[in-house]
């Protein structure tokens, strides 16, 4: 019997590693604490339709990632989003068009990771709390006290602060990962029965509690009856208000939205807030992935590269490359 490789995390980094390892002929098993895949690229189903509460769009600058995106596009899982972009600066909104190609999952952001997952073996609603080595192989313990294994190798593809706690058997890796700080982001969705009277579809915001806002419904394939908007607070505001009650966060960001939009703002028919505790890495890091090949432990995620979707995918590829290299 072949001993599979465990992959913790079904965000795009974990799935990128899983695809590369499976393509090389290895058997894998994925674990995620959530009920579905996607992590920070997941979408929330709601009364106002599916909402992209995390990643809003992504760019592809690396040749290998661009090739993967092209394939997803051919398969119908991604589409180009061409928002009418604005910038808000010094108290004024101005058009801010550019030539950048921006991609989104279609019909929702989570379509990409769902397609990547396909029929791969996965256990959801399973928070891994311990990764420990037996005589020959690795085993995992989950929050319900159940153990999983044996596994030949383990790939940990989760935000750095969460990965640190799983690295007790690899103190050298643990000390590097513990040095990586990640910042929170509060995300709020608002939906209006009557569309707001504005052509704006996406806006980079300065000098506000908000740093980005988007008209969710303007993305390809979204069929919401309501006019749906996503607001993201800045890292600084989110850090300062990390424990604020959701209703208060909604009130505050709705107020900031009303202040910066140049149009009448009715009361929203639907609201939702989500706190991403580990939204983005605090500083730049270009390590690709981390590994202790002799132990058989690999760590990847967006925080190993650019803190973006592309960086997460590339980091998963790098973890798989290192693992396969060691097996040669």
* Residues lying near ligand FAD in the complex (CB under 6 A): 8-14, 31-34, 39-41, 54-58, 127-128, 157-159, 162, 185, 187, 232, 276, 279, 301-302, 307-309, 312
Q: Which option in ligand NAI, ligand FAD, none does residue 123 bind, with CB closer than 5 to 8 A by kind?
A: none
Residue listed under structure tokens 């106002």: 48
End-to-end CA gap in the chain: 20
Binding region for ligand NAI (CB under 6 A) out of 23-31, 95-103, 115-123, 250-258: 95-103
Residue 58 or 313 with smaller CB distance to ligand NAI? 58
Residue nearest to ligand NAI (CB): 279
Question: Distances from the Cα of 98 to the Cαs of 5, 50, 60, 95, 307, in angstroms?
Answer: 43, 27, 15, 10, 22
Please state, in angstroms and rounded to a whole number, the distance separating the CA atoms of residues 217 and 219: 5
Dihedral of the CA atoms 241, 245, 249, 255 (nearest 10)? -120
Q: Which option in ligand NAI, ligand FAD, none does residue 107 bind, with CB closer than 5 to 8 A by kind?
A: none
Please state, in angstroms and rounded to a whole number, the distance separating the CA atoms of residues 177 and 170: 11
**Residue 145 φ/ψ region, left for φ over 0, alpha for ψ in the -120 to 50 degree band, beta for the rest:** left
Residue 192 or 204 with smaller CB distance to ligand NAI? 204
Residue 70 or 100 with smaller CB distance to ligand NAI? 100
Chain-centroid distance of CA 19 in Å reads 17
Q: Which option in ligand FAD, ligand NAI, none does residue 157 bind, with CB closer than 5 to 8 A by kind?
A: ligand FAD
Residue 135 or 201 with smaller CB distance to ligand FAD? 201
User: What are the beta bridge partners of residue 156?
Assistant: 8, 299
177: tokens are: 């990962």
The minimum distance between CB 6 and ligand NAI, in angstroms, equals: 27
For ligand NAI, the binding residue among 2, 25, 90, 98 (CB under 6 A) is 98
Residue 34 or 139 with smaller CB distance to ligand FAD? 34
129 binds ligand NAI (CB under 6 A): no
139 binds ligand NAI (CB under 6 A): no
58 binds ligand NAI (CB under 6 A): yes
204 binds ligand NAI (CB under 6 A): yes
Question: Distances from the Cα of 309 to the Cαs of 85, 187, 199, 207, 280, in angstroms?
Answer: 20, 17, 27, 26, 11
Residue 8 or 78 with smaller CB distance to ligand FAD? 8
User: What are the beta bridge partners of residue 29?
Assistant: 6
For ligand NAI, the binding residue among 185, 228, 271, 317 (CB under 6 A) is 185
Chain-centroid distance of CA 91 in Å reads 30
Residue 43 or 152 with smaller CB distance to ligand FAD? 43
Q: Which option in ligand FAD, ligand NAI, none does residue 216 bind, with CB closer than 5 to 8 A by kind?
A: none
Beginning with the edge strand found earlier in the chain, give each strand of the sheet holding 28-31 in spatial order: 122-123, 28-31, 5-8, 154-156, 297-299, 290-292
Long-range CB contacts (< 8 A, 24+ apart) of 44-47? 44/189, 44/272, 44/274, 46/189, 46/270, 46/272, 47/191, 47/270
Residues forming contacts to ligand NAI in the complex (CB under 6 A) are 58-59, 85, 87, 96, 98, 100, 185, 204, 232, 279-280, 307-308
């Amino acid at each position: 019997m072949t001993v599979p490789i465990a992959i913790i995390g079904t965000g795009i980094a974990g799935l990128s590693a899983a695809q590369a390892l499976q393509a090389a002929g290895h058997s894998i098993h994925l674990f995620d604490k959530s009920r579905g895949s996607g992590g920070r690229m997941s979408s929330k189903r709601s009364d106002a339709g599916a909402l992209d509460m995390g990643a809003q769009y992504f760019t592809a600058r690396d040749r290998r990632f661009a090739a993967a995106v092209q394939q997803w596009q051919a398969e119908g899982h991604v589409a180009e989003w061409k928002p009418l972009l604005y910038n808000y600066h010094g108290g004024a909104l101005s058009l801010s068009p550019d030539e950048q190609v921006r991609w989104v999952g279609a019909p929702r952001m989570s379509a990409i990771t769902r397609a990547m997952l396909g029929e791969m073996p996965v256990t959801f609603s399973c928070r891994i709390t311990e990764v420990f080595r037996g005589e020959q192989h690795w085993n995992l313990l989950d929050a319900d006290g159940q153990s999983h294994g044996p596994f030949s190798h383990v790939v940990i593809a989760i935000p750095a602060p969460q990965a640190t706690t799983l690295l007790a058997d690899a103190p050298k890796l643990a000390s590097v990962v513990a040095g990586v700080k990640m910042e929170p982001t509060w995300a709020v969705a608002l939906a209006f029965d009557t569309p707001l009277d504005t052509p704006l579809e996406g806006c980079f915001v300065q000098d506000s509690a908000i740093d980005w806002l988007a008209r969710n419904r303007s993305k390809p394939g979204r069929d919401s009856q309501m006019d749906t908007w996503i607001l993201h607070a800045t890292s600084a505001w989110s850090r300062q208000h990390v424990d604020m009650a959701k209703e208060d966060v909604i009130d505050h960001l709705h107020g900031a939205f009303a202040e910066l939009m140049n149009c009448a703002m009715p009361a929203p028919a639907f609201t939702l807030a989500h706190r991403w505790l580990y939204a983005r890495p605090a500083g730049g890091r270009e390590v690709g992935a981390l590994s202790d090949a002799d132990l058989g432990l690999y760590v990847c995620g967006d925080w190993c590269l650019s803190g973006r979707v592309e960086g997460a995918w590339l980091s998963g590829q790098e973890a798989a490359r290192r693992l396969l290299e060691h097996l040669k």
